[in-house]
Amino acid sequence: MKKAAMFVILMAMVLGVASTSFAATSVASLHGMYSFQLQGVSNQYGYYSGSTWVNLNNGSCPTGHSCFSQAFGKASYGTLFFDGKGHATFLSIINVNSGGGGGPVKGSVWGYSVSGFNGAIGTATNGAYLSLGHFNAAGIAQTVLIRTGDSSPEMGQAILQQ
């Protein structure tokens, strides 16, 4: 009888530790409204025509112009709602990208996935990598580090709003 009770206690402890250690194993680990902010730099090749930047996307420089590479700051911020089922909706987004840029628009819905403490949102060509952290008692990530996958990545964070 003592061995059986000891076994039950030991299994309860192991299962309790396992459920805490592996809390972030599904899309349900992201649920609710998160405020996010991303920042980065976009390197572009081109020239100025008056006060207007002409981005050549690393093309050849037209005759009579002096072309060079220039860094432009870019930032995005807003709110994002994760439904806990693999869909994220951009409730608001502001892109401050000198020289243009892509990315989501308000109201767009992107798919997301989570495996362990890592995840991804969007597609391979238009998306970001996620690192989940600081979980509440319900197993919901309170903070998310974000890094876009392009050649000039943006980095930032999202914080769950209470």
Most confident among 5-14, 93-102, 141-150 (mean pLDDT): 141-150
Residue 126 is assigned to a structural domain of this protein? yes
Which tokens hold the place of 120?
A: 């991804």
Does residue 134 sit within a domain?
yes
Residue 65 covered by a domain: no
The yes-or-no verdict on residue 9 having pLDDT over 70 is no
Distance between CA atoms of 10 and 155, rounded to whole angstroms?
A: 43
Query: Could you tell me if 130 and 140 are in contact, meaning their C-beta atoms sit under 8 angstroms apart?
Result: no
Find the helix or strand (DSSP H, E) in which 2 lies: helix 2-21
Task: Identify the sign of the CA torsion 59, 65, 68, 69.
Answer: negative
Domain hosting residue 33, numbered range: 22-42+73-160
Reported as a single tens digit per residue, the pLDDT across 62-79 is 999 999 998 888 888 999
SS (H, E, C) 27-87: HHHCEEEEEEEEEEEEEEEEEEECCEEEECCCCCCCCCCCCEEEEEEEEEEEEEEEECCCE
- Write down the pLDDT at residue 103: 72
Domain assignment of residue 105, yes or no: yes
Domain assignment present for 81 = yes
Q: What is the pTM of this model?
A: 0.71
Instruction: Average the pLDDT over 78-105 and give the result.
Output: 85
Mean pLDDT for all residues in the chain: 82
- 12 within domain boundaries: no
Domain membership of residue 33 (yes or no) is yes
21 pLDDT exceeds 50? Answer: no
Q: What is the three-class DSSP state of 98?
A: coil
**127, part of any domain:** yes
Measured over the CA atoms of residue 67, residue 43, residue 97 and residue 91, the dihedral's sign is: positive
| pLDDT of residue 159 exceeding 90 | yes
| CATH number of the domain bearing residue 144 | 2.40.128
Number of domains in the chain: 1
Return the pLDDT at 8. 40
